[in-house]
Amino acid sequence: MVEEEGFRRYVAHAILWIGIAIVAFPVYIAIVASTQDNALIANGQMSLLPGGHFFEVYYQTIFVGTSGSTREPVGNMMLNSLVMALLIAVGKIAISIISAYAIVYFRFPFRMPIFWIIFITLMLPVEVRIYPTYKIVADLHMLDSYAGLALPLIASATATLLFRQFFMTVPDELLEASRIDGAGPLRFFWDTLLPLSRTNMAALFVILFILGWNQYLWPLLITTRDDMQTIQVGIRKMITTTDALTEWPVVMATAVLAMLPPVFVVVAMQKLFVRGLVETEK
Amino acid sequence: MQKQAIFQSRLLPYALVAPQLAIVLIFFYWPALQAVVQSFLLQDAFGLSTTFVWFDNYIELFRDRAYFEAIVRTFLFSFAIALSSLSFALLLAVMADKPLRGSMLYRTLLIWPYAVAPPVVGVLWIFMLHPSLGVLARYLRAMGIDWNPLLDGDQAAALIILAAAWKQISYNFLFFLAGLQAIPRSVFEAAAIDGARPMRRFWTVTFPLLSPTIFFLLVVNIVYAFFDTFGIIDTMTRGGPGTSTVTLVYKVYSDGLLGGNLGSSAAQSVILMVMVIVLTGIQFRFVERKVTY
Contact (CB<8Å) A2/B111: no
What would the pLDDT profile of A61-81 be if each residue is shown by its tens digit? 888 877 765 678 889 999 999
Q: Please indicate whether residue A151 or residue B261 has the higher confidence score (pLDDT).
A: A151
**B7 touching A (Cβ < 8 Å):** yes
Tell me the C-alpha distance between B77 and B71, whole Å: 10
Interface of B with A in 74-93 (CB under 8 A): 88, 91-92
Q: Residue B134: which region, alpha, beta or left (left: phi > 0; alpha: psi -120 to 50)?
A: beta
> According to the model, what pLDDT value does residue A261 have?
94
Q: Which of A66, A55, A29, A47 is nearest to A229 (CA)?
A: A66
What would the pLDDT profile of A88-141 be if each residue is shown by its tens digit? 999 999 999 999 999 999 999 999 999 999 988 888 888 888 888 988 999 999
Of A36, A63, A90, the last residue of a domain is A63
Rounded mean pLDDT, B73-95: 94
Tell me the C-alpha distance between B251 and B69, whole Å: 11
pLDDT at residue A274 is higher than 90: no
Q: Which of B218, B187, B212, B11 is nearest to B97 (CA)?
A: B187
pLDDT at residue A20 is higher than 90: yes
Contact (CB<8Å) A1/B185: yes
- The verdict on residue A1 lying in a domain is no
Instruction: Return the CATH number of the domain spanning residue range B64-289.
Output: 1.10.3720.10
> According to the model, what pLDDT value does residue B291 have?
40
Most confident of A277-281, B145-149, B189-193, B269-273: B269-273
Chain B interface, best mutation among A101, A216, A224, by max B CB count within 10 A: A216
- The verdict on residue A180 lying in a domain is yes
User: Does A139 share its domain with A195?
Assistant: yes
User: What band does A196 get if pLDDT is binned at 50, 70 and 90?
Assistant: very high
Query: Any idea what DSSP says for residue A4?
Result: P
Residues B289 and A150: beta-carbon distance below 8 Å: no
> According to the model, what pLDDT value does residue A243 have?
60
Query: Between B29, B112, B126, which is nearest A263 by CB?
Result: B112
User: CB neighbours of B103 closer than 8 A, spacing ≥ 6?
Assistant: B96
Q: Please indicate whether residue B45 or residue B256 has the higher confidence score (pLDDT).
A: B256
> According to the model, what pLDDT value does residue B47 have?
66
User: Does A22 share its domain with A107?
Assistant: no
Contact (CB<8Å) B133/A248: yes
> According to the model, what pLDDT value does residue A244 have?
63
- The verdict on residue A224 lying in a domain is yes
**B28 touching A (Cβ < 8 Å):** yes
User: Does A168 share its domain with A227?
Assistant: yes
Contact (CB<8Å) A255/B123: yes
Rounded mean pLDDT, A178-196: 90
- Residue of chain B whose Cα is closest to the Cα of A174: B5
Sign of the torsion formed by the C-alpha atoms of A26, A221, B149 and B61: positive
Q: Return the beta strands (E) in A70-113 as ranges.
A: none
User: Does A19 share its domain with A86?
Assistant: no
> According to the model, what pLDDT value does residue A68 have?
66
What are residue A27's phi and psi, to 5 degrees?
A: -75, -40
How many Å lie between the alpha carbon of A207 and the closest alpha carbon of chain B?
9
The CATH code of the domain that includes A175 is 1.10.3720.10
Residues B251 and B74: beta-carbon distance below 8 Å: no
pLDDT at residue A281 is higher than 70: no
Q: How many domains does chain A have?
A: 2
Say what percent of chain B tops pLDDT 90.
34
Chain B interface, best mutation among A217, A256, A272, by max B CB count within 10 A: A217
Rounded mean pLDDT, B241-256: 88
Say what percent of chain B tops pLDDT 70.
95
How many Å lie between the alpha carbon of A172 and the closest alpha carbon of chain B?
6
What would the pLDDT profile of A146-164 be if each residue is shown by its tens digit? 999 999 999 888 899 999 9
Query: Between A9, A133, A236, which is nearest B100 by CB?
Result: A9
Query: Between B26, B92, B116, which is nearest A259 by CB?
Result: B116
- The verdict on residue A90 lying in a domain is yes
- The verdict on residue A71 lying in a domain is no
Of A63, A85, A108, the last residue of a domain is A63
Tell me the C-alpha distance between A115 and B158, whole Å: 43
Burial of A96 (0-12, 13-18, 19+ CB in 10 A): buried
Domain boundaries, position A43:
7-63
User: Does A97 share its domain with A228?
Assistant: yes
Look at A102-111, A272-281, B92-101, B209-218 and tell me which has the smallest mean pLDDT: A272-281
> According to the model, what pLDDT value does residue A242 have?
58
> According to the model, what pLDDT value does residue A4 have?
60
Chain B interface, best mutation among A27, A123, A278, by max B CB count within 10 A: A123
- The verdict on residue A198 lying in a domain is yes
> According to the model, what pLDDT value does residue A260 have?
94
How many Å lie between the alpha carbon of B8 and the closest alpha carbon of chain A?
7
Can you tell me whether residue B7 is helix, strand or coil?
strand
Rounded to the nearest integer, the mean pLDDT of chain B is 86
User: What band does B71 get if pLDDT is binned at 50, 70 and 90?
Assistant: very high
Contact (CB<8Å) A130/B178: no
Which residues does chain B have within 8 Å of residue A104's beta carbon, measured at their own beta carbons? Answer: 2-3
- pTM to 2 decimals? 0.90
pLDDT at residue A1 is higher than 60: no
Rounded mean pLDDT, A236-260: 82
Instruction: Name B43's bridge partners.
Output: B50
What would the pLDDT profile of B13-43 be if each residue is shown by its tens digit? 999 999 999 999 999 999 999 889 888 888 7
Which residues does chain B have within 8 Å of residue A12's beta carbon, measured at their own beta carbons? Answer: 95, 98, 100
> According to the model, what pLDDT value does residue A240 have?
65
pLDDT at residue A200 is higher than 60: yes
Look at A128-137, A268-277, B255-264 and tell me which has the smallest mean pLDDT: B255-264
Residues B172 and B86: beta-carbon distance below 8 Å: yes
Tell me the C-alpha distance between B238 and B250, whole Å: 9
Contact (CB<8Å) B110/A20: yes
User: What band does B101 get if pLDDT is binned at 50, 70 and 90?
Assistant: confident
pLDDT at residue B262 is higher than 80: no
User: Does A40 share its domain with A160?
Assistant: no
Which residues does chain A have within 8 Å of residue B169's beta carbon, measured at their own beta carbons? Answer: 19, 22-23
> According to the model, what pLDDT value does residue B187 have?
85
Query: 3-state secondary structure string, B17-75?
Result: HHHHHHHHHHHHHHHHHHHHHHCCEEECCCCCCEEECCCHHHHHHHHCHHHHHHHHHHH
pLDDT at residue A38 is higher than 70: yes
Residues A140 and B42: beta-carbon distance below 8 Å: no
Alpha helices in chain A (DSSP H): 6-33, 38-42, 54-59, 74-105, 111-120, 130-139, 146-150, 157-169, 172-180, 185-188, 194-196, 198-213, 217-222, 231-238, 248-268, 270-281
User: What band does A182 get if pLDDT is binned at 50, 70 and 90?
Assistant: confident
- The verdict on residue A69 lying in a domain is no
User: Does A21 share its domain with A114?
Assistant: no
**B47 touching A (Cβ < 8 Å):** no
What would the pLDDT profile of B213-230 be if each residue is shown by its tens digit? 888 889 889 989 998 899
Residue B117 identity (one-letter amino acid): A
